[in-house]
């Protein structure tokens, strides 16, 4: 008797819907044991988290605030992952976007007509993020340098660069020695809609629409999907992998850059503490959303809830907020582990035999 | 150059390189079996956290090491289960391991001090440096290479052993076969899945030990983000080393040297801001990757095991 995995021709739709839900529940159970091991009541902890993230209007708006950068970086990561380019560098691309926007707000806005400040911040922020994403893409396509490592190393560099700027030359001279730049002039503020929720949410949703359109309605989107699904087929049909890689990474880095712009212009209104890990959570968002733009919007909201809930946990129960990171990792494990049920049919065979002429997949 | 200066530079270089080399060796053995484990950073930081917590509370440095080996092995086992048995995407599984490990280590760091407080700033048992008799009398290298901690000396022994194992023993041959041509290895009667499990877990244990060296010997204490990307640099070093344990040593010394240089310049009050000095290892990693990849291309050398990152299933063979 043996267990046999038979590859499904098309992944199972029911399994595709059921597995994320089940994975989430299993991850909760798994993390409950971890919490119990640390002497924390998991039921109480999870209810504090849910209440803190979704339990009131204030909670919902705070969740929305954190969802904005997750949506933008998640969309960027998702489109890169679509063509199997492992862009782990959203964090750094976001940082560069924030730096460029801050430069405009701090040093150029005095010389510009008020109405042009924000558009210029978004434009230059997107450009800076795009360039930060372009470097690994060029290194990959012309030299074959591993993009996971280059994007990651560039994150570390970008994070240090942000710190250098707001602790060093860009530090607010009137800030009594506290870290952070001077507050931005009002022309550089992204308008707020409700609570601390700013117009970044509108940009994120527009980005999702554009991305959905590109992926499902244009030839470019078709090429991206083809490269991701079958690189050789793409090559034989004359699709340029280099060209697509460059364009996708400009878009991916640009979206993360805009996330950085939205953070400094919409939320902090100055440059300070920009890199808090959204770029890494974006990887989970993109993967859980199955790289689908609408999925990214939804999952980003849920993951933001997890982050806000984690913060609440720290305030209410003095439980480290890192719980939400542990949960994120666990969810990803279970989703990964269960994807086999969507892609394979599992059978128990009585007598193992080699099927003649079995294809080598 | 006077001897004292050379000795001090060399000593820091090696000291900084030890944990990198443990992690690199662990990843080399993992990748040689065909499994790509991108969870090095997460395993390493967990190794550092558990080693420190266990040794602090048990007052035994060696129990800390044991705990780090155990945690490293367990985390790698999880990765092995996902990528070998469940055939999950190895890239994403490794990333998940890193996110999970970073989170859990940070959680532990804030909870496992005395009475549920932080571990930051605590002083626990540690591995101190001691000169080896006779060898430490050699000029220049004596008081640098042979004046290190016990984990470093174990590593010195481990490098030739691992090299010999990999290239000169039957088991090493099987390991390489599984990473290069799993179908052929399977036909030879080697259990591909079991081999991969074995070396992924072994690699994880070494990576856990790398973390233990950080929190118990090199930095002697716990700090959030104690690894600071060292796990990722180790993965880059695997490429630099072209999957060879001895060449990995060269890489670790090179990166240890960068660290030493960084310390020196900081101590000398260099006019370069410390942020830029701290960027050096990351920038250098990119440069090294570019150079080595270009070199491999020109030399038409393919260093990576042919089946790296690809799942293997018996039923699917031709």
Model confidence band, residue A115 (pLDDT cutoffs 50, 70, 90): very high
Q: Is the CB of A160 less than 8 angstroms away from the CB of B283?
A: no
Contact (Cβ atoms closer than 8 angstroms) between residue A162 and residue A171: no
CA distance B54 to chain A (A): 14
- Only one residue has tokens 């931005």, namely A184
- Kindly list the residues from chain A whose CB atom is less than 8 angstroms away from the CB atom of residue B276: 160, 164
Q: Average pLDDT in the A41-54 region?
A: 94
CA distance B131 to chain A (A): 36
Q: Is the CB of A323 less than 8 angstroms away from the CB of B107?
A: yes
Q: Is the CB of B276 less than 8 angstroms away from the CB of A323?
A: no
ipTM above threshold 0.90: yes
CA distance B204 to chain A (A): 17
Which pLDDT belongs to residue B317? 43
- A157, A324, A344: residue with CB nearest B279: A157
Helix, strand or coil, per DSSP, at residue A255: helix
Contact (Cβ atoms closer than 8 angstroms) between residue A198 and residue A267: yes
User: What are the CA-CA distances from residue B259 to residues A178, A227, B215, B219, B253 (Å)?
Assistant: 29, 40, 17, 13, 10
Which pLDDT belongs to residue B288? 93
Q: Is the CB of A360 less than 8 angstroms away from the CB of B317?
A: yes
CA distance A136 to chain B (A): 10
By percentage, how much of chain A surpasses pLDDT 90? Answer: 77
Comparing A25-39, A234-248, A330-344, B198-212, the range with the smallest average pLDDT is A330-344
For residue A76, pLDDT over 90 is answered with yes
Which pLDDT belongs to residue A11? 67
Q: Is the CB of A160 less than 8 angstroms away from the CB of B279?
A: yes
- Mutation site for A-interface testing, chosen from B46, B107, B110, B304 by largest number of A Cβ within 10 Å: B107
Average pLDDT of chain A is 91
Per-residue pLDDT of chain B (318 residues; tens, 9 = 90+): 688 888 988 999 999 999 999 999 999 999 999 999 999 999 999 999 999 999 999 999 999 999 999 999 999 999 999 999 999 999 999 999 999 999 999 999 999 999 889 999 999 999 999 999 999 999 888 999 999 999 999 999 999 999 999 999 999 999 999 999 999 999 999 999 999 999 999 999 999 999 999 999 999 999 988 999 999 999 999 999 999 999 999 999 999 999 888 888 877 776 778 889 899 999 999 999 999 988 887 776 667 888 898 888 775 443
Q: Is the CB of B294 less than 8 angstroms away from the CB of A143?
A: yes
Model confidence band, residue A14 (pLDDT cutoffs 50, 70, 90): confident
Q: Is the CB of A339 less than 8 angstroms away from the CB of B88?
A: yes
**Partner residues linked to B295 by β-bridges:** none
Tokens of residue B30, six digits: 């993992």
For residue A361, pLDDT over 70 is answered with no
Q: Average pLDDT in the A208-237 region?
A: 93
What is d(CA B54, CA B45) in angstroms, rounded to the nearest whole number? 14
What is d(CA A27, CA A25) in angstroms, rounded to the nearest whole number? 5
Q: How does pLDDT run across A251-268, given as a tens digit for each residue? A: 999 999 999 999 999 999
Q: Is the pTM for the entire model greater than 0.90?
A: yes
Q: How many CB pairs (< 8 A) connect A and B?
A: 151
Helix, strand or coil, per DSSP, at residue A198: strand
What angle is formed at CA B122 by the lines to CA B120 and CA B123, rounded to 5 degrees? 145
- Kindly list the residues from chain A whose CB atom is less than 8 angstroms away from the CB atom of residue B106: 320, 322, 325
**Partner residues linked to A130 by β-bridges:** none
Which pLDDT belongs to residue B206? 98
Higher pLDDT, A356 or A154: A154
User: What are the CA-CA distances from residue A96 to residues A87, A104, A271, B116 (Å)?
Assistant: 15, 13, 11, 38
- B87, B106, B279: residue with CB nearest A320: B106
Which pLDDT belongs to residue A357? 46
- Mutation site for A-interface testing, chosen from B41, B46, B76, B88 by largest number of A Cβ within 10 Å: B88
Q: How does pLDDT run across B155-207, given as a tens digit for each residue? A: 999 999 999 999 999 999 999 999 999 999 999 999 999 999 999 999 999 99
Contact (Cβ atoms closer than 8 angstroms) between residue A141 and residue A242: yes
Which pLDDT belongs to residue A22? 84
What domains can you pick out in chain B, each with its CATH number?
3-300 (1.10.3470)
- Kindly list the residues from chain B whose CB atom is less than 8 angstroms away from the CB atom of residue A344: 87
- Kindly list the residues from chain A whose CB atom is less than 8 angstroms away from the CB atom of residue B86: 336-337, 339-340
Q: Please state the length of chain B.
A: 318
The torsion angles phi and psi of B208, rounded to 5 degrees, stand at -60, -40
Q: How does pLDDT run across A181-208, given as a tens digit for each residue? A: 999 999 999 999 999 999 999 999 999 9
CA distance A125 to chain B (A): 22
Contact (Cβ atoms closer than 8 angstroms) between residue B40 and residue B314: no
CA distance A103 to chain B (A): 19
Within 10 A of B128 (CB to CB), how many other CB atoms are there? 11
- Kindly list the residues from chain A whose CB atom is less than 8 angstroms away from the CB atom of residue B82: 333, 336-337
For residue A102, pLDDT over 60 is answered with yes
Tokens of residue B77, six digits: 């086992």
Which pLDDT belongs to residue B201? 98
- Kindly list the residues from chain B whose CB atom is less than 8 angstroms away from the CB atom of residue A154: 282, 286
Q: Average pLDDT in the A101-110 region?
A: 96
- A88, A336, A360: residue with CB nearest B96: A336
- B96, B235, B282: residue with CB nearest A329: B96
- Kindly list the residues from chain B whose CB atom is less than 8 angstroms away from the CB atom of residue A5: 87, 313, 315
- A4, A153, A333: residue with CB nearest B282: A153
Within 10 A of A195 (CB to CB), how many other CB atoms are there? 14
CA distance B109 to chain A (A): 9
What is d(CA B68, CA B261) in angstroms, rounded to the nearest whole number? 29
Q: Is the CB of B294 less than 8 angstroms away from the CB of A146?
A: no
CA distance A69 to chain B (A): 18
User: What are the CA-CA distances from residue A198 to residues A75, A209, A259, A263, A269 (Å)?
Assistant: 18, 19, 12, 9, 11
For residue A356, pLDDT over 50 is answered with no
Q: Is the CB of A326 less than 8 angstroms away from the CB of B107?
A: yes
What is d(CA A227, CA A221) in angstroms, rounded to the nearest whole number? 10
Question: Which of B282, B273, B239 lies closest to A154 in space, CA to CA?
Answer: B282
Residues 6+ away with beta carbon under 8 Å from B119: B49, B52, B53, B56, B108, B109, B110, B112, B113, B222
- Kindly list the residues from chain A whose CB atom is less than 8 angstroms away from the CB atom of residue B297: 143-144
Alpha carbon distance, N-terminus to C-terminus of chain B: 63
Which pLDDT belongs to residue A351? 55
CA distance A357 to chain B (A): 7
Question: Which of A315, B234, A20 lies closest to A323 in space, CA to CA?
Answer: A315
What is d(CA B301, CA A229) in angstroms, rounded to the nearest whole number? 27
- Mutation site for B-interface testing, chosen from A152, A315, A340, A359 by largest number of B Cβ within 10 Å: A152
Chain B CA closest to residue A139: B290
Q: Please state the length of chain A.
A: 361
CA distance B30 to chain A (A): 18
- Mutation site for A-interface testing, chosen from B54, B104, B300 by largest number of A Cβ within 10 Å: B104
Higher pLDDT, A273 or B313: A273
Contact (Cβ atoms closer than 8 angstroms) between residue A64 and residue A262: no
Q: Is the CB of A322 less than 8 angstroms away from the CB of B87?
A: no
CA distance B155 to chain A (A): 26
What is d(CA B39, CA B101) in angstroms, rounded to the nearest whole number? 8
- Kindly list the residues from chain A whose CB atom is less than 8 angstroms away from the CB atom of residue B229: 152-153, 156
- Kindly list the residues from chain B whose CB atom is less than 8 angstroms away from the CB atom of residue A283: 92, 95, 99
User: What are the CA-CA distances from residue A143 to residues A84, A135, A140, B258, B304 (Å)?
Assistant: 17, 12, 6, 25, 15
What is d(CA A40, CA B108) in angstroms, rounded to the nearest whole number? 13
């Amino acid at each position: 008797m043996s267990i046999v995995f038979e590859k499904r021709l098309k992944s199972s739709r029911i399994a595709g819907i059921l597995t994320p839900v089940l994975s989430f529940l299993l991850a909760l159970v798994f993390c409950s044991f971890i919490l119990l091991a640390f002497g924390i009541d998991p039921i109480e902890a999870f209810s504090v988290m849910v209440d803190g993230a979704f339990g009131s209007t204030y909670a919902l708006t705070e969740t929305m605030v954190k969802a904005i950068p997750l949506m933008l970086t998640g969309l960027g990561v998702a489109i890169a992952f679509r063509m199997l380019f492992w862009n782990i560098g959203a964090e750094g691309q976001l940082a560069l976007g924030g730096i460029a926007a801050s430069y405009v707000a701090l040093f150029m806005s005095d010389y510009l007509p008020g109405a042009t400040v924000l558009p210029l911040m978004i434009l230059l922020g997107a450009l800076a993020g795009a360039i930060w994403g372009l470097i690994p893409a060029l290194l990959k396509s012309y030299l074959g340098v591993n993009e996971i490592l280059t994007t990651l190393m560039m994150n570390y560099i970008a994070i240090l660069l942000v710190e250098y700027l707001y602790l060093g030359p860009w530090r607010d001279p009137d800030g009594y020695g506290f870290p952070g730049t001077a507050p931005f002039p009002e022309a550089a503020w992204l308008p707020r809609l409700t609570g601390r929720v700013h117009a970044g949410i509108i940009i994120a949703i527009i980005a999702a629409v554009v991305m959905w359109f590109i992926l499902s309605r244009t030839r470019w989107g078709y090429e991206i999907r083809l490269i991701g699904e079958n690189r050789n087929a793409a090559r034989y049909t004359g699709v340029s992998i280099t060209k697509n890689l460059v364009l996708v990474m400009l878009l991916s880095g640009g979206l993360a850059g805009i996330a950085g712009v939205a953070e400094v212009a919409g939320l902090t209104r100055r440059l300070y503490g920009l890199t808090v890990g959204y770029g890494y959570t974006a990887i989970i968002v993109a993967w859980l959303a199955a790289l689908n733009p609408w999925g990214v919007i939804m999952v980003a909201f849920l993951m933001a809830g997890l982050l806000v809930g984690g913060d609440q946990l720290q305030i209410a129960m003095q439980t480290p907020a890192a719980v939400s990171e542990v949960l994120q990792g666990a969810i990803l494990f279970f989703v990964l582990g269960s994807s086999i049920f969507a892609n394979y049919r599992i059978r128990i065979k009585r007598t193992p035999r080699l099927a003649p002429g079995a294809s080598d997949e | 150059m006077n001897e004292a200066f050379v000795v001090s530079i060399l000593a820091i270089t090696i000291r900084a390189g030890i944990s990198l080399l443990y992690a690199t060796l662990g990843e080399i053995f993992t990748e040689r079996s065909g499994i790509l484990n991108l969870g090095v950073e997460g395993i390493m930081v967990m190794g550092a956290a558990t080693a420190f917590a266990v040794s602090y509370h048990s007052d035994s440095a060696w129990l800390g090491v044991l705990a780090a080996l155990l945690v490293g092995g367990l985390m790698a086992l999880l990765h092995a289960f996902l990528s070998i048995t469940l055939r999950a995407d190895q890239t994403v599984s490794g990333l998940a391991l890193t996110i999970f490990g970073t989170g859990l280590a940070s959680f532990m760091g804030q909870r496992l001090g005395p009475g549920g407080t932080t571990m930051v700033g605590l002083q626990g048992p540690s591995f101190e440096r001691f000169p080896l008799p006779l060898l430490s009398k050699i000029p220049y290298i004596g008081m640098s290479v042979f004046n290190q901690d016990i984990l470093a000396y174990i590593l010195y022994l481990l490098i030739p052993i691992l090299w010999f194992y990999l290239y000169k023993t039957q088991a090493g041959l099987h390991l390489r076969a599984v990473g290069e041509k799993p179908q052929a290895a399977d036909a030879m009667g080697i259990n591909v899945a079991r081999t991969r499990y074995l070396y992924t877990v072994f690699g994880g244990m070494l990576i856990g030990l790398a973390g233990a060296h950080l929190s118990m010997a090199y930095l002697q204490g716990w700090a959030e983000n104690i690894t600071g990307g060292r796990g990722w640099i180790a993965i880059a070093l695997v490429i630099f080393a072209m999957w060879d344990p001895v060449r990995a040593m060269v890489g670790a010394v090179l990166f240890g040297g960068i660290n030493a240089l960084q310390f020196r310049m900081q101590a000398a009050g260099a006019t370069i801001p410390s942020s830029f000095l701290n960027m050096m290892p990351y920038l250098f990693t990119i440069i090294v990757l570019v150079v080595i990849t270009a070199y491999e291309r020109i030399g038409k050398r393919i260093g990576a095991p042919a089946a790296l990152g690809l799942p293997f299933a018996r039923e699917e063979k031709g």
